[in-house]
Amino acid sequence: MPAAQIKAKIISNLKLSNNYWHLEFESGLIAKQAKPGQFVQIRVADGATPLLRRPLSIHAAGALKVKIIYEVVGEGTGILSTKKPGEFLDILGPLGNGFDCARPVESRGGKNILVAGGIGVAPLVFLAEKLKLSKPLVLIGAQTKKQIICLPEFKALGCGLKLATDDGALGFKGRVTDLLKIVLEQTKPARIFSCGPYLMLKAVAQIAGENRINAQLSLEEHMACGIGACLGCVVETKSGYKTVCKDGPVFFSEELVW
Amino acid sequence: MVKQTQPNLNVKIGNLNLKNPVMVASGTFGYAREFENFIDLKKLGAMVTKTITLKARQGNPAPRTCETPAGMLNSIGLENPGIDEFIQEKLPFLQKLGIPVIVSIAAEETPQEFAILVKRLDQLPAVSAIELNISCPNLQKNKLISQDVKDTFELVSAVRKLTAKCLITKLSPNVTSITQIALAAQSAGTDALALINTLGGMSIDVHKRTPKLGAWVGGLSGPAIRPVAVKMVWEAYNKIKIPIIGMGGIIDTESALELFIAGAAAVSVGTANFVNPQVSLEIIAGLKQYMLKNNMQNLSQLTGRLRVCRS
């Protein structure tokens, strides 16, 4: 069964911390098909403003439920945060190419390392669940302690955790990519999976390249259609422009041109 | 009370017969396959492909879109695989849909490219009609063909000789007089006009003091431009005899009706496809209801039927 346009009933929509919100809605169709790294396109208003849907990555997908963690950054996500349980959302999904976690890597003996920046942690919980047998090591970075989220989920999955904040109030003081460099001196890596701000991903790509580690990066871009039709959300790759919405949002780091 | 018969939604554009007058606009629907999971493509009146050029084009640098009040800007830059790959990779799927396929084309360097493209498409039974995109704002040209009466006339005349297929000319709203350009295209032999392409626009990130688009400027679309489209369709309708395909900011039945009443024989849904992939089919159903309610048996009772005196 392919992706679809659905009307989904909101189960809950709650503030987590800071500007982070947690949305849960009913959808057997999306929950059944979703893969880590995929996203949904949510229409937040019926009228013409804001006009476009908002692309949000899937945080978890259970039997009949889908969870999203989003950051309120503007008008669209602001409206989304006012939606109440019982209301319906117009959603397209699941969309995009997610993380490739099919290949067995345990045989190589290395660790799967997940690197999250800020709200980029959201899809990595879903990924960690798929990779839980390999007990991945999760690195989370954020500006402040309050912006570090999802710790209980990773702990419940049996992941190792290392944190970084700009002021050192929680974990390592500094960037999560500097923390990654230290970790790589101590840990034999298998693959890196990462989601976060552009500059963080760029640093992860560089570190992965220097250490010859296979890295998969989930990119973010403004989108119009979300289904590969408008060609608006392109990223430059070694084989030309590719769409973040359909070819991505996850790309192998060596494909990308920074 | 006499039971009313279902309204007839057929419309003829040149030698092209459409089962209903709602199509999807170039550049907003890819090559249809992108939408196959979200809409019953066979129900569309017609589909207009993303614009094809002679050679593959990689398009403009990112970011290529940005949201604006009730609309969006784009500077895609006609990214497309070129005519050869289009015919090989995209056309077979379109042909199987059984709906009229209108291929949008543009030239990158010289107008002669239009002639070569038209000759190629003319030979293909899968192609129902050709749309001349002489109004794309994202090619970094100083002047578009459709911004000049003489250039428009010469281009349309030249390609008219090369094909008997339905020829649609898509015009730019970024002109002083849309009627002069429309008249030039008509006298050069185009079968229909597509009105309007996007309006030139720009948006700035005030925190970074940079343009929001990678190409700096782009084309504005969405409900924000609808009043411009309605006015231009109405102005052109009053001066020309050939059918107009109205587009610009259609997002629901009511907005489509505005363009019909202003003078459109058919309409194209554009940016709204991104917002609601099903919107074209909703408009077809809504149009039927409106015609039933207003005792209209066919579209000629709707197109251009603007009441200009107060009642």
Give the pLDDT confidence of A136-163 residue by residue, as tens digits.
Answer: 999 999 999 999 999 999 999 999 999 9
Give yes or no: B136 in active site. yes
A53/B275 CB distance under 8 A = yes
Among residues 225-264 of chain B, which lie with CB inside 8 Å of chain A? 251
- Which ranges of chain B would DSSP assign to H, the alpha helix? 83-85, 91-96, 112-122, 149-160, 178-187, 226-237, 253-262, 272-275, 279-293
B30/A229 CB distance under 8 A = yes
Residues B10-53 pLDDT 10s: 999 999 999 999 999 999 999 999 999 999 999 999 999 999 99
Residues B47-101 pLDDT 10s: 999 999 999 999 999 999 999 999 999 999 999 999 999 999 999 999 999 999 9
Residue of chain B whose Cα is closest to the Cα of A1: B37
- Closest Cα in chain B, distance from residue A3 (Å): 6
Distance CA B234, CA B261 (A): 8
Domain for residue B39, yes or no? yes
Contacting residues for A255 by C-beta, under 8 A, at least 6 apart: A237, A238, A239, A242
Confidence of residue B113 (pLDDT cuts 50, 70, 90): very high
Confidence of residue B141 (pLDDT cuts 50, 70, 90): confident
Domain for residue A149, yes or no? yes
The 3-state secondary structure of chain A reads CCCEEEEEEEEEEEEEECCEEEEEEECHHHHHHCCCCCEEEEECCCCCCCCCCEEEEEEEECCCEEEEEEECCCHHHHHHCCCCCCCEEEEEEEECECCCCCCCCHHHCCEEEEEEEHHHHHHHHHHHHHCHHHCCEEEEEECCHHHCCCHHHHHHCCCEEEEEECCCCCCEECCHHHHHHHHHHHCCEEEEEEECCHHHHHHHHHHHHHCCCEEEEECCCCCCCCCCCCCCCEEEECCEEEECCCCCEEEEHHHECC
B37/A49 CB distance under 8 A = no
Closest CA to B90 of B34, B21, B9: B34
Range of the domain at B186: 11-62+78-201+222-301
Distance CA A76, CA A43 (A): 9
| Same domain, yes or no: A117 and A244 | yes
Domain for residue B309, yes or no? no
Distance CA A138, CA A142 (A): 13
Query: Who wins on pLDDT, A110 or B162?
Result: B162
Domain for residue B296, yes or no? yes
φ/ψ region of A158 (left if φ > 0, alpha if ψ in -120 to 50, else beta) reads left
Domain for residue A100, yes or no? no
Of the candidates A2, A5, A230, the beta carbon closest to that of B65 is on A230
| Same domain, yes or no: A91 and A112 | no
Q: What is the pLDDT of residue B94?
A: 98
| Same domain, yes or no: A155 and A49 | no
Q: What is the pLDDT of residue A102?
A: 74
A3/B37 CB distance under 8 A = yes
CATH number at residue A129: 3.40.50.80
Of the candidates A3, A4, A228, the beta carbon closest to that of B30 is on A228
Residue spans of beta strands (DSSP E) within B63-117: 65-68, 71-74, 101-105
Residue of chain B whose Cα is closest to the Cα of A228: B34
β-pairing verdict for B22-24 and B46-48: parallel
Mean pLDDT of B167-190: 98
Range of the domain at A52: 4-95
Distance CA A167, CA A175 (A): 10
Of the candidates A48, A92, A233, the beta carbon closest to that of B222 is on A48
Domain for residue B264, yes or no? yes
| Same domain, yes or no: A54 and A83 | yes
| Same domain, yes or no: A123 and A245 | yes
Domain for residue B30, yes or no? yes
CATH number at residue A30: 2.40.30.10
Domain for residue A197, yes or no? yes
With an 8 Å Cβ cutoff, the interface of chain A facing chain B consists of 2-5, 43, 48-53, 90, 92, 221-236, 240-241, 246
Domain for residue B2, yes or no? no
Residue B138 contacts A, CB cutoff 8 Å: no
Domain for residue A66, yes or no? yes
| Chain A contact set for B76 (CB, 8 A) | 230-232
Q: What is the pLDDT of residue B142?
A: 77
Q: What is the pLDDT of residue A110?
A: 85
Of the candidates A2, A221, A240, the beta carbon closest to that of B62 is on A221
Q: What is the pLDDT of residue A107?
A: 47
B38/A43 CB distance under 8 A = no
Distance CA B173, CA A111 (A): 58
| Chain A contact set for B67 (CB, 8 A) | 50-52, 222
Query: Over 60: is that where the pLDDT of B185 sits?
Result: yes
Domain for residue B192, yes or no? yes
B34/A92 CB distance under 8 A = no
Q: Which of A74, A95, A116 is the last residue of a domain?
A: A95
- Closest Cα in chain A, distance from residue B3 (Å): 35
Residue B78 contacts A, CB cutoff 8 Å: no
| Same domain, yes or no: A237 and A132 | yes
| Same domain, yes or no: A66 and A140 | no
Domain for residue A101, yes or no? no
Q: Which of A68, A95, A122 is the last residue of a domain?
A: A95
| Residue A196 · residue A120 · CB < 8 Å | yes
Mean pLDDT of B267-282: 98
Number of domain units in chain B: 1
Domain for residue A71, yes or no? yes
Residue type, A258: W
SS3 B246: strand
Residue type, B182: A
A222/B69 CB distance under 8 A = no
Full-model pTM: 0.95
ipTM confidence: 0.93
Q: Which of A57, A75, A95 is the last residue of a domain?
A: A95
Could you tell me the mean pLDDT of each successive run of 10 residues in chain A, 258 residues long? 92 93 97 97 95 97 95 96 98 96 64 95 96 93 94 95 95 95 92 96 96 94 96 96 97 95
B62/A234 CB distance under 8 A = yes
Q: Which of B66, B136, B166, B309 is catalytic?
A: B136
Mean pLDDT of B216-220: 97
Residue B74 contacts A, CB cutoff 8 Å: yes
- Closest Cα in chain A, distance from residue B76 (Å): 6
Query: Over 60: is that where the pLDDT of B182 sits?
Result: yes
| Same domain, yes or no: A89 and A158 | no
CATH number at residue B96: 3.20.20.70
B59/A229 CB distance under 8 A = no
Domain for residue A17, yes or no? yes
Number of domain units in chain A: 2
- Closest Cα in chain A, distance from residue B58 (Å): 7
| Chain B contact set for A50 (CB, 8 A) | 67
